[in-house]
Amino acid sequence: MQSYDVVIIGAGAAGLMCAASAAARGRRVALLDHANKVGKKILMSGGGRCNFTNYYIEPANYLSANSHFCKSALARFNQWDFIALVEKYQLAYHEKTLGQLFCDNKAKDILNILLAECEQYGVDIVTQCDIEAVEKIAANEYRYQIESSLGSWRCQSLVIATGGLSIPTMGATGLGYDIAKQFGLSIKPREAALVPFTFKGELLTLAQALAGVALPVSIECRQQRFAEALLFTHKGISGPAVLQISNYWYPGDELIIDLLPSQSLSDLLRQWRDNGEKSGLTKLLGQYLPKRFIQAWFEFQQLSILLEANVAQLSNADIERISNCLHAWRCTPAGTEGYRTAEVTRGGVSTDEVSSKTFEAKKAPGLYFIGEVLDVTGWLGGFNFQWAWASGYCAAQEV
Ligand SMILES: Cc1cc2nc3c(=O)[nH]c(=O)nc-3n(C[C@H](O)[C@H](O)[C@H](O)COP(=O)(O)OP(=O)(O)OC[C@H]3O[C@@H](n4cnc5c(N)ncnc54)[C@H](O)[C@@H]3O)c2cc1C
């Protein structure tokens, strides 16, 4: 039996941050993970460069049944605090777009910072440790006991940082939710989020014909709108705009997509017509949209005949039809690609069950939940890591 002040299950972003911060306060910390390596999602994040935070973090960038829950932690450990840590290690980084901060070099640099902090303060990191049971105990100051393939641990504070369900091949499991249920905590329904959509039938045929084509679009669902790139894939649609809106999408919801948000197509078409443009539509639209897209799109919309027409011949009704189908394409995805490719899990341990200041479970003193296992889901762009850092740091001040 090993005894610690704090045992943390899950050595991902939140667990590592919490371990280093609690150990810096002088707590004896053990960090347990069943995987053979720690921080695997950090390593694969941001295309290998880790989008570790964002200049413009706001509570509005997070989804949760309780939209106020994330406010306190995000204010107490903000993006500037994490940037200060990155700068302490003289790590080179850059803003890619929309405030998103990436390492210049490799995601491993971020993991190395967290490991260096853990080492400096003496965190004991244990990998390939299969958790078999967690029990409440009352033995002097110890409140929880953990049984594992590598023996037993007991601790005053037990922190659950097992993340979400996405990418099971990277070590994701539902252990955190099972522990929450064991202690009577409720769980909000979970779905894959920040995830590509899949299509069926004619939409799928269209997507397959356009696979590889990317367009800047504006995409809308449930009153939420994002203006970023969309990518057609062999299964449906992906790209940043699509991943963002997937956070807000529920099965059966329709998406409204503006495929040419930078222009008013009806104005353009009227202008071309009124100026007596001689060229066909394919050539004129080709200034704004990929040729491959134009052909497939007009075919899909059964408007191919207009492509060959001289612009001078377009009626007002033709102009409206073309404009509507490109500016307000309504499509209903068949589903998402699921946890296999999702970046995050929407839903999780209910925020009603946990203090937003300490992250301690209200029904189970000494038991803490941090990071993605909670019902807090960030937008694409460094928001999910910032949540992991912030919740990990704040819990560490209490454990
Ligand atoms: C491909 C991809 C790219 C991403 N890119 C970004 C990005 O650039 N920016 C961003 O902000 N977010 C990104 N994310 C999201 C981000 O990685 C997560 O939101 C974040 O890692 C959550 O941190 P966490 O510590 O809660 O969980 P995780 O980092 O997932 O860590 C959970 C840990 O718990 C361990 N664990 C799970 N089950 C058990 C068990 N039964 N026993 C013991 N240990 C267990 C796991 O092995 C893992 O080490 C990306 C996600 C993916 C999948």
Q: How far apart are CA 384 and CA 387, in angstroms?
A: 5
Q: How far apart are CA 191 and CA 247, in angstroms?
A: 9
Distance from Cα 176 to the centre of ligand 1, integer Å: 12
CATH number at residue 348: 3.50.50.60
pLDDT interval class at 279 (50, 70, 90):
confident
- The pLDDT, as a whole number, for residue 235 is 98
Average pLDDT score over residue span 281-305: 94
pLDDT interval class at 32 (50, 70, 90):
very high
- Closest CA relative to residue 151, chosen from 4, 8, 1: 1
Average of per-residue pLDDT values in the chain? 97
pLDDT interval class at 308 (50, 70, 90):
confident
Dihedral, 23, 19, 357, 63 alpha carbons, nearest 10: 160
Beta-strand (E) ranges in 167-240? Answer: 187-193, 197-198, 214-221, 224-232, 236-238
Q: Are residues 115 and 228 in the same domain?
A: no
Which of 16, 41, 79, 377 has the most ligand 1 atoms within 8 A of CB, as the residue to mutate?
41
Q: How far apart are CA 219 and CA 171, in angstroms?
A: 32
Which segment of 195-199, 212-216, 273-277 scores lowest on mean pLDDT?
273-277
258 and 252 Cβ atoms separated by less than 8 Å: no
- The pLDDT, as a whole number, for residue 48 is 96
Which two three-digit tokens encode residue 63? 């989804």
Matching residue, tokens 């097992």: 162
Which two three-digit tokens encode residue 322? 């073309």
Q: Is 1 exposed, middle or buried (0-12, 13-18, 19+ CB in 10 A)?
A: exposed
pLDDT interval class at 349 (50, 70, 90):
very high
- The pLDDT, as a whole number, for residue 277 is 87
Q: Is 171 in the pocket of ligand 1 (CB under 6 A)?
A: yes
pLDDT interval class at 114 (50, 70, 90):
very high
Q: Are residues 349 and 303 in the same domain?
A: no
372 and 164 Cβ atoms separated by less than 8 Å: yes
Q: Are residues 218 and 296 in the same domain?
A: yes
Using the 3D structure, point to which of 336, 355, 370 is the last residue of a domain.
336
- The pLDDT, as a whole number, for residue 55 is 98
Q: Are residues 356 and 303 in the same domain?
A: no
Question: How many domains does the chain fold into?
Answer: 2
Q: Are residues 297 and 373 in the same domain?
A: no
**Atom of ligand 1 lying closest to residue 38 CA:** 49
- The pLDDT, as a whole number, for residue 258 is 98
| Other CB atoms within 10 A of residue 375 CB | 26
Which of 52, 82, 149, 162 has the most ligand 1 atoms within 8 A of CB, as the residue to mutate?
162
- Given a cut of 90, whether residue 140 has pLDDT beyond it is no
**Atom of ligand 1 lying closest to residue 50 CA:** 8
Q: pLDDT exceeding 70 applies to what percent of the chain?
A: 100
Q: Is 168 exposed, middle or buried (0-12, 13-18, 19+ CB in 10 A)?
A: exposed
| Other CB atoms within 10 A of residue 179 CB | 25
Q: Are residues 51 and 145 in the same domain?
A: yes
Using the 3D structure, point to which of 318, 336, 354 is the last residue of a domain.
336
Range of the domain at 206: 197-336
Q: Are residues 137 and 35 in the same domain?
A: yes
Average pLDDT score over residue span 116-124: 98
Q: How far apart are CA 390 and CA 10, in angstroms?
A: 16
Digit-coded pLDDT (tens) for 185-210: 999 999 999 999 999 999 999 999 99
Average pLDDT score over residue span 269-298: 93
Using the 3D structure, point to which of 309, 336, 363 is the last residue of a domain.
336
Average pLDDT score over residue span 224-231: 98
390 and 16 Cβ atoms separated by less than 8 Å: no
Digit-coded pLDDT (tens) for 152-183: 999 999 999 999 999 999 889 999 999 999 99
User: For 301-325, what is the HEC assignment?
Assistant: CCCHHHHHCEHHHCCHHHHHHHHHH
Residue 105's alpha-carbon distances to 44, 109, 275, 346, in angstroms, are 13, 7, 52, 30
Q: Are residues 357 and 297 in the same domain?
A: no
Dihedral, 325, 329, 332, 336 alpha carbons, nearest 10: 130
Q: Which residues pair with 191 in a beta bridge?
A: 346
Q: How far apart are CA 233 and CA 222, in angstroms?
A: 24
CATH number at residue 248: 2.40.30.10
- The pLDDT, as a whole number, for residue 278 is 84
Q: Are residues 168 and 120 in the same domain?
A: yes
Q: Are residues 27 and 168 in the same domain?
A: yes
Q: Are residues 360 and 253 in the same domain?
A: no
- Given a cut of 90, whether residue 310 has pLDDT beyond it is no
311 and 279 Cβ atoms separated by less than 8 Å: yes
Element containing residue 125 per DSSP (H, E): strand 124-126
Q: How far apart are CA 159 and CA 231, in angstroms?
A: 39
Distance from Cα 12 to the centre of ligand 1, integer Å: 5
10 and 372 Cβ atoms separated by less than 8 Å: no
- Given a cut of 90, whether residue 46 has pLDDT beyond it is yes
Q: Is 236 in the pocket of ligand 1 (CB under 6 A)?
A: no
Q: Are residues 16 and 141 in the same domain?
A: yes
